[in-house]
Structure 1
């Protein structure tokens, strides 16, 4: 079902009696600021939960059974969470109230079976029926088939050839580790060891899920699919067949050297409690690779990885789940923006402490993987997690700089800002945009390989990250005629959609992208009567819902479903209102109705209620719910509205 909810008719009159009560506005802003202040850690940072789908909690259970490190008590709590988020369709979705997803459902079912759920229990019957009705477990994605192969549920030929020796290929080869995204290289490097060694789970209870297949996995021959349908994908499937024939010879000649390269790569980036790459899949693959290579459980690297993966386990009202990673830098810089918008500044304890905490985490002494295309740069960025020095995040860096710069702690912040500005400018790609972690990471050929059925192998420039970089540069005084800024603005204009919106790569979705772009154009003092800006404004207004809010479903990442809107959400309403205000629409009825929605929407102190997911890891594959978004973004929007309607605030919004 499309579930397209009713939207306000753009030609309809505004709702009556929607004026904003200033005392109510002040009260909500004050309460929200106090709520955020109470949740700031003593060292100055904020961190909120980051929730994904059933996949990672299920993978945690599978990991324990792979390693024979079963934790019955914790796994029972995770199983409770998995049961609670099962969809009405019998399976598990990729986001709240989403459609059935085959891979998430197979992993959740397998995990529950490992924890002792019987196959005849009603929830297991419903899940199994849904899997079989959708084509069976043979329809899972590549990553799930790797897991099933390690548990002897499918033959290894169900997985594309992924030899560890590929890590030794020279830079001019079609594949090179530097040509894929940071998350791909950290996940793939230990996974290649697992594939090349044909890793096998201990699985001490001997539990399988063959009942989920419509065909016997041993007789299936057409496992590999062309992820794009392009002729290149067909050709690569034929190359895969050739590689299977010569693979034993490749292993004989090069495996030892390749595994040493992989282990050196991993050990340099083990990253303490944050783990390899700071992301669950890479950390879990590292643990399984160490186990497969015979590492003792008290080996220092093994212990570090185990501690990192356990550190992602999070209590939940429904039991316990596993976060995909931790988001303290992102949460801290955004929360800082919100409280500064609400009136706090340098000299206020919350701002000073968050600034100090952020400055301490700037990466100044590690030249990360971005060096492959920008080796001349000095490091100067911030990572997303507590520690992840090889992978500073361009988006985080831009937002941190804007938070530091607006607080006016000039002496304390000047050097940090200067180093970050230098790094951000150097990370601009030749097309004028910025990617999240790398420059020039646009080797589209790789999206055709059978391994890339998730469509997220690369890290090309995106509108939202680029807009933040432009906002930062403008806030630091660079005009729109500056060559770096001008190239970035040209990139944004080229990326505008036909309907006037912009795609949101890292937040859901066109509302997020459009808010980001409009902020950037405001920051550079673009003429906001430009017809292209007006088209974006009209699009945002047309998407307002009858209740005055905005909402956009994660299903909009499928082009044929880009209009799906199930309900208004505080986060997306805040983005829409901030975007309209950036375009000069602060006095419009739409903004006023959006502010009223935020004032009236249910909340617990300073956190608005929001179940629908608000962000994306990989479009159509992996979605996220930032629990902090429904706290600091509504506060930010309300405070900006107060500032811009108070009569004493210049109507230019710098940076964000």
Structure 2
């Protein structure tokens, strides 16, 4: 046999037998973890904040569950950082707000403030400026527990929901997650809600200054002059607030309750996210709804459904990710060779088709009222808030299975919706179009910097990949505008920012796959610059890794270690740019073949995604199962095909 006839994997020294064996093992593992009805759902882990808030919620409502709270406390103690406080991601820096909430939660469940771990936490909090340095959301919690005065919180009157759309603030001008979190929170603020706190626990010891004597609670979140002006407006609103409440609160609360009830979403909860569900429960309590009220029971079931128990340890997920996990697992298994007729794919796609939202006009219609619904949510059900990203990835999974008649209507409805959700700048946001009223990120409430849902590279790349895969070319005006948006967002070093995954590796993989799908020449200088950036970021062990701290501009190059999921993204990006035969790809493949696994799932402790950059991070437990499998299978497919370009949009 001439060398040219030998599969590339063997020429480079990567034995096809080893590659096949691990692809087979990972495929079997993934198939074995599929639920009977066809879907996959893996754990979604955040930081200490959500489990701590769950304990605080129980004590707010006087619904203490000592057994569960002790399991949550064990989790909180386990993830305490070496610095004494709690980080936002594994092995991260001290974070004030997470630390204050975790300390308070542990004290509520009975931990002795003089225990070593509590003394260590308290010392760290005080050394970093004390609990008065907590963020806005934490100060709302502390105000409800009587630990800070309500003036520590920005003016957030419920009457704001009655403002007309032409007003500077309107609920449709903020993101879906902000809308669902703020609506019940504004009721809590306007009523100056007070936790039951039956054990009377406080945390005065965490403040360096008496909270009643602190005068400068309001901070300018961006340092911009607009932020400074809005702080002055906050002071004016504080004076007129009582009169506004007398005139409009009843009407505003009725509007808010109607908004919430229409979106209660059964056991998936308001918006499908923990903060909105918890705020709803506290608002119902504050308004006096009995515990056996159907809406209260529904919200309670939703929040409890986010708990994950492992023996004597438990934590609380921020939300559930079944649609996302299912469509990505389908892609990985199809890349590994499974076909439409194989049971895992057939059952997954049948389940996915049944989850398409076709009859509910969601909040996205505020800016796109002419569209018919046609998307998929991220959670089991979240009809008012279908996810553009999920929708694009589901369509690509359905389309690649090669069942045009079965999937025709689902894909057509999704295509119509995705095209209509394109924003004026050519990109796509996650849940809304034209959600870019930038000045709102300057309001005192927005110190988390994520009030809006503007177009992002990663979501836009998935939409472009989908449109290309189902037949639209770069000559199509929708595709052309999307490609122009991607180019406009490329960083000077050649990479792309990753809004929903960590970070520049994720963004660069996303963009390169989309550009490949629409037919951009892999020798385009801009593509080569991205390829050079990815190659330069490869680590000594052959893998790729990127720390969550890279969301701070002065820490863009930080790495704690290589991870299987980030290595898979880098490999998929390089292969999309025609680099299947490069030494960097071979070393990356070797890293995945040799990296530790638990059965067919790669081990990965470091966090791999983001909710809000610099504020809230995530670890998708499924990422280390399906992304490495996907990358290895694509490498096998392309190397055996002599480097042919991938046929699919991602």
TM-score scaled by length of structure 1: 0.97
**Contact 2:578–2:643, Cα closer than 8 Å, also in 1:** no
Choose from 504, 523, 535 the match for 2:529: 535
Choose from 417, 423, 430 the match for 1:429: 423
Separation in 1, partners of 2:328, 2:600: 15
**Contact 2:537–2:544, Cα closer than 8 Å, also in 1:** yes
**Contact 2:474–2:518, Cα closer than 8 Å, also in 1:** yes
2:23 corresponds to which residue?
A: 29
**RMSD (Å) for aligned C-alpha atoms:** 1.0
Are 1:510 and 2:510 an aligned pair?
A: no
**Contact 1:519–1:653, Cα closer than 8 Å, also in 2:** no
Paired residue secondary structure (2:189) = helix
1:643 corresponds to which residue?
A: 637
State the shift of 1:649 in Å.
7.5
State the shift of 1:37 in Å.
0.6
Choose from 122, 126, 148 the match for 1:132: 126
Choose from 98, 101, 106 the match for 1:104: 98
1:200 corresponds to which residue?
A: 194
1:74 corresponds to which residue?
A: 68
Are 1:55 and 2:21 an aligned pair?
A: no
Separation in 2, partners of 1:505, 1:150: 32
**Contact 1:374–1:427, Cα closer than 8 Å, also in 2:** yes
Q: Deviation per CA, 1:352-388, whole angstroms, max 9, x where unpaired?
A: 1000000000000000000000000000000000000
State the shift of 1:25 in Å.
0.2
State the shift of 1:143 in Å.
0.1
After TM superposition, where is structure 1 displaced by more than 3 Å over at least 4 residues in a row? none
Task: Report how many aligned residue pairs link the two structures.
Answer: 641
Paired residue secondary structure (2:363) = coil
Paired residue secondary structure (1:26) = helix
Separation in 1, partners of 2:17, 2:565: 23
1:161 corresponds to which residue?
A: 155
1:9 corresponds to which residue?
A: none
Separation in 2, partners of 1:511, 1:649: 22
Choose from 598, 602, 612 the match for 2:596: 602
**Contact 1:533–1:583, Cα closer than 8 Å, also in 2:** yes
Paired residue secondary structure (1:645) = helix
Q: Deviation per CA, 1:209-268, whole angstroms, max 9, x where unpaired?
A: 010000000111100000011111111111111111100000000000000000000000
1:8 corresponds to which residue?
A: none
Separation in 2, partners of 1:96, 1:570: 16
Q: Greater CA deviation, 318-327 or 174-183?
A: 318-327
Choose from 577, 586, 589 the match for 1:592: 586
Unaligned runs of 5+ in 2: 1-10
Are 1:420 and 2:414 an aligned pair?
A: yes
Separation in 2, partners of 1:63, 1:459: 28
1:181 corresponds to which residue?
A: 175
**Contact 1:84–1:318, Cα closer than 8 Å, also in 2:** no
Q: Deviation per CA, 1:315-367, whole angstroms, max 9, x where unpaired?
A: 13671000000000000000000000000011101101000000000000000
**Contact 2:581–2:643, Cα closer than 8 Å, also in 1:** no
Choose from 224, 231, 239 the match for 2:225: 231
Q: Deviation per CA, 1:160-213, whole angstroms, max 9, x where unpaired?
A: 000000000000000000000000000000000000000000000000001000
Are 1:301 and 2:295 an aligned pair?
A: yes
**Contact 1:164–1:258, Cα closer than 8 Å, also in 2:** yes
1:90 corresponds to which residue?
A: 84
**Contact 2:38–2:347, Cα closer than 8 Å, also in 1:** yes
Unaligned runs of 5+ in 1: 1-16
State the shift of 1:399 in Å.
0.1
**Contact 1:18–1:596, Cα closer than 8 Å, also in 2:** no
TM-score scaled by length of structure 2: 0.98
**Contact 2:426–2:485, Cα closer than 8 Å, also in 1:** yes
